Amino acid sequence: MPITEILVRNAELYGSEKCLTEINMTLQERDNVTWMEYELIENNPAGEYRLEMSWRVFNEKANRLANLLLKRGVKKGDKVAILLMNCLEWLPIYFGILKAGAVAVPLNFRYTAEEIKYCLELSDSVALIFGPEFIGRVEAIYEELSKVRLLFFAGENRPSFAESYDRLTANCSSEEPQVKLTDEDDAAIYFSSGTTGFPKAILHPHRSLMSACYTEVKHHGQRLDDNFLCIPPLYHTGAKMHWFGSLLSGSKAVLLRGVKPEWILKTVSEEKITIVWLLVPWAQDILDAIDSGELNLADYDLSHWRLMHIGAQPVPPSLIHRWKKYFPGHLYDTNYGLSEATGPGCVHLGIENIHKVGAIGIPGYNWEAKIVDEHGTPVPRGEVGELIVKGPGLMKCYYKDPQATASALRDGWLFTGDMARMDEDGFIYLVDRKKDVIISGGENIYPVQVEDFLREHQAIKDAAVIGLPDRRLGEIAAAIIEVKPGYSCSEEEIKAFCESLPRYKRPRKIIFDQVPRNPTGKIENPRLREKYGAACLVAAQTKN
């Protein structure tokens, strides 16, 4: 069943019921809301506002966009990109693209102009819907886009090179578009990265999206009376696939713009939130604020909160032990996943297995998992090998990359690139990653990209970027800088040079040293991690 049919069902069964609420704790990121058709519930001098939407309005909004796309010649299978901050209109736009029979292509809102251009071209996107935060980046590249023929701007003060999404959709029919969809029709492209650091386009059919719905509800038991707090970006499979549990159960969700601990607890309290998905840094911040006295739990009504789960990066067991100290009644789950496997859930701890905290868990609902050697043969329990998974949520392919597809998908199994071991009870523990991707605060940092950037500095001979343990973010990017003979360079100079990088890609630690390379010219990252990682790990553990 195509996932769009779940939305139609919800509009019929729960039409007047609230399904989405957007709460923005600061207007610094989004100044324009008057163009929205949704009711402005609250707008106070503190800079907080709240918007709501019903299932009926959600479905009508999706239909209006679908009919606009069809009217403009978008055909079944065409790709339509989304470049928006989290907002109330994000999900209706996503479903509008699907209802038109097109393929939704969410873009990371941290992408530079060149990265946006690369992903639009790679995905063969014919249309782009973007928000006010991205005017400058889109303006810098729109004349160079060879395939994008439709630019829709969602906001006020429309730039001259784009059309008004709001005005055009308002004049389109809210009736269901007459497009027949099947489980195997293409539905979405998400972006990951290969070993070179350049994004790969991961193609999923409707079958994958429906699989995520069933897996999420099976794992976390969403009911009609639940209310899910979603904070991470919706372009990411993790946030959206967890919300799919709300979609399937017909329950409510809140999109929170802002991650301060007091904002999270305030929202949980006032919105009667029952389920919260956190990244490690946010959970760490909440606990630190409680420890320091900045937060007083007695100030909030948290009686409805039944489940906290974490994903997107390794979770320190000490963090969960601290969490259970303050929230002993909470159910807890760890979620492991990849965009190639429709995000979280192919492996999960399970709310009944908190005694195994530290493991990523067991195969998720409808999933299989094995630990194999370099030949694909299962290794004995306790030994380290590569984690491979199999299930209904696997990608179709890396779009336009048959070589990478053949390497990752073998005999129906996805080779994850993650090294792991399985204990005697069948629980899986991550050991290391084959790839050198750094996961910092739930975001992937690709060392090659940062290394190439650093080498453009006139004083830098060579550079290597590695991940080092960090108590709050899980990992931080550290840059080992080898300076050219006769040149001098300071840490402050390097940090100033890196200010043109997106904030999350900037190295947080600068180390001046020689960059070791093997005889084939490859950077010896294991040597660097061994040299600098142990001290950081001891420091991180000492702070716990």
4-13 vs 237-249: helix axis angle to the nearest 10?
A: 40
Q: Please determine, for residue 118, whether its predicted confidence score (pLDDT) is greater than 70.
A: yes
Structure tokens at 297: 């739990």
* Rounded Cα distance, 479 and 438, in Å: 12
Which residues, at least 6 apart from 117, have a Cβ–Cβ distance to it below 8 Å? 141, 144, 145
Q: What pLDDT sits at residue 160?
A: 97
Give the whole-angstrom CA distance, residue 33 versus residue 183.
Answer: 36
Six-digit token pair at 313? 């990066």
What pLDDT, on a 0 to 100 scale, did the predictor assign at position 33? 37
d(CA 240, CA 13): 22
DSSP-derived pairing of the beta strands 397-398 and 199-205 = antiparallel
Which carries the bigger pLDDT value, residue 12 or residue 544? 12
CA-based angle 542:543:544, to the nearest 5?
A: 95
Residues 367-384: what's their mean pLDDT? 95
Find out whether 249 and 226 touch, Cβ atoms under 8 Å: yes
Tell me the average pLDDT of the chain. 89
Closest CA to 388 of 363, 356, 405: 363
Distance CA 146, CA 124 (A): 9
In the chain, the largest separation of any two C-alpha atoms, in whole Å, equals: 73
Correct CATH for 438-543 of 3.40.50.1370, 3.30.300.30, 3.20.20.70, 3.10.129.10: 3.30.300.30
Over residues 434-455, the pLDDT tens digits come to 667 788 888 878 777 788 789 8
CA distances from 24 to 5, 28, 52, 259, 539 (A): 30, 9, 12, 10, 36
Judge whether 21 and 52 are in contact, CB under 8 Å: yes
In the predicted structure, residue 43 carries a pLDDT above the cut 50: no
* Better-predicted residue by pLDDT, 391 or 40: 391
pLDDT for residue 541 is more than 70: no
CA 80 – CA 71 distance, rounded (Å): 14
pLDDT of 30 over the 50 cut: no
Question: Which of 251, 80, 222, 61 shows the shortest CA–CA distance to 150?
Answer: 80
Domain 306-433 in CATH 2.30.38.10: yes
Separation CA 452–CA 429 (nearest Å): 33
C-alpha 67, offset from chain centre: 28
Which residue has better confidence, 319 or 61?
Answer: 61
DSSP β-bridge partners for residue 420: 385, 430
Helix axes 90-99, 4-13, angle to 10 degrees: 120
Short-list 343, 362, 342, CA closest to 352: 362
Question: What pLDDT, on a 0 to 100 scale, did the predictor assign at position 81?
Answer: 98
Tokens for 247?
């979609």
Q: Which residues pair with 103 in a beta bridge?
A: 79
Q: What are the structural domain ranges in the chain?
A: 4-258, 306-433, 438-543
Summarised one tens digit per residue, pLDDT across range 507-519 is: 999 999 998 875 4
Question: Residue 284 — pLDDT band, cuts 50, 70, 90?
Answer: confident
Please name the CATH architecture into which domain 4-258 falls: 3-Layer(aba) Sandwich (3.40)
Nearest CA-CA partner of 395 in 190, 180, 245, 118: 190
Residue bearing the bigger pLDDT, 285 or 540: 285
- The tokens of 15 are what? 């039409």
User: Does the pLDDT of residue 540 top 80, yes or no?
Assistant: no
The token pair that represents 122 in the structure block = 């790679």
Residue 352 has pLDDT above 90, yes or no: yes
Element (H, E) at 408: helix 402-408
Provide the pLDDT for residue 24.
87
Weakest mean pLDDT among 165-169, 203-207, 378-382, 484-488? 484-488
199: number of Cβ within 10 Å: 21
- Cα 14 vs. chain centroid, distance in angstroms? 28
Angle, in degrees to the nearest 10, between helices 280-292 and 317-326: 50
